[in-house]
Amino acid sequence: MPKEILPEITILVPTYNRAKFLPLFLMNLKNQIYPSHLLKVLIDDDGSERFIKEGEMEDVKKLIHPIRLNYMYSQKKRSIGQKRNNLCKKCDTKLFCFFDDDDVMLPSAITHTYETMIKNKKSCAGSDKMIFCMTSDDFKIYGINCGNNVKLIHEGGCLMMTKKFFRASCGFENSSQGEGKNLFYGMENCVAITDISKVMVCIQHDTNTVDKKQFNKEENRIDIEISDEMKNLLKQILEI
């Protein structure tokens, strides 16, 4: 696909007290194969510990250049759903996607999601399937398949949509778990399903919003591995 016809995309990031995951987040950004000059990042942070400290801001902007960064900080605690809605409204591009701060976003995440949406002539794309890396179980990989159920699409797994889709939707609920369960109501035919193996890996750790250990079952085991480089970074972040 010729680069000149690709659109600008904003990566939306709700975060709360996840500063230790900043190195992973920055690696995710730097690794994306989607043209960097067409990417923006918009962060909504309401943690008591800033995701990006004030003294780090200029260094972070230089590191991810030419990706452009806007950072919103508020001391008022809000639900993840509220922050997702706020990010969608504040975003100034016609197309956006969500990254969660503690996931491994594969290099093809944005490109694959965008191409899936365009190929299927939809205005939204995401995955109802999940891949998990169990850091408490020797970094073994597990997965679940929800059977192409649009209503179960993961909110943070590079969920991509147009501004027009969001405005016509029910938006995100005021919740920090399952906040997107009604997002697609009445709009299921406008949504494409992505291949999760080209998008992301969820990282299991002690501060997950939803406990990922519940998926650590032998029937969910997948015979793949993450790179040693990623393992070492996660060991540093999680101090294991």
- Summarize pLDDT for 89-108 with one digit per residue, the tens: 999 999 999 999 999 999 99
Residue ranges of the chain with pLDDT lower than 50?
Answer: none
> Residue 178 has what pLDDT?
86
Domain chopping of the chain, boundaries: 3-128+150-200
Return the bridge partners of 200, or none. Answer: 105
> Residue 144 has what pLDDT?
92
d(CA 42, CA 36) in angstroms, rounded, equals 14
> Residue 4 has what pLDDT?
57
Q: Mention every residue, 6+ apart, whose C-beta is less than 8 A from residue 14.
A: 43, 44, 80, 83, 84, 87, 98, 100
The angle, 0 to 180 degrees and rounded to 10, between the axes of the packed helices 22-31 and 228-238 is: 150
Continuous segment of H or E residues that includes residue 143: strand 140-144
> Residue 155 has what pLDDT?
85
3-128+150-200 topology per CATH: Spore Coat Polysaccharide Biosynthesis Protein SpsA; Chain A (3.90.550)
**pTM score:** 0.94
> Residue 183 has what pLDDT?
94
> Residue 209 has what pLDDT?
83
Q: What is the pLDDT of residues 132-175, one digit of tens each?
A: 999 999 999 999 998 888 888 988 889 999 999 999 999 999 99
**What DSSP string describes 69-115?**
EEEEE-SS---HHHHHHHHHHH--SSEEEEE-TTEEE-TTHHHHHHH
* CB distance 226 to 139 below 8 Å: yes
> Residue 3 has what pLDDT?
52
**Nearest one of 78, 107, 104, 110 to 12, comparing CA atoms:** 110
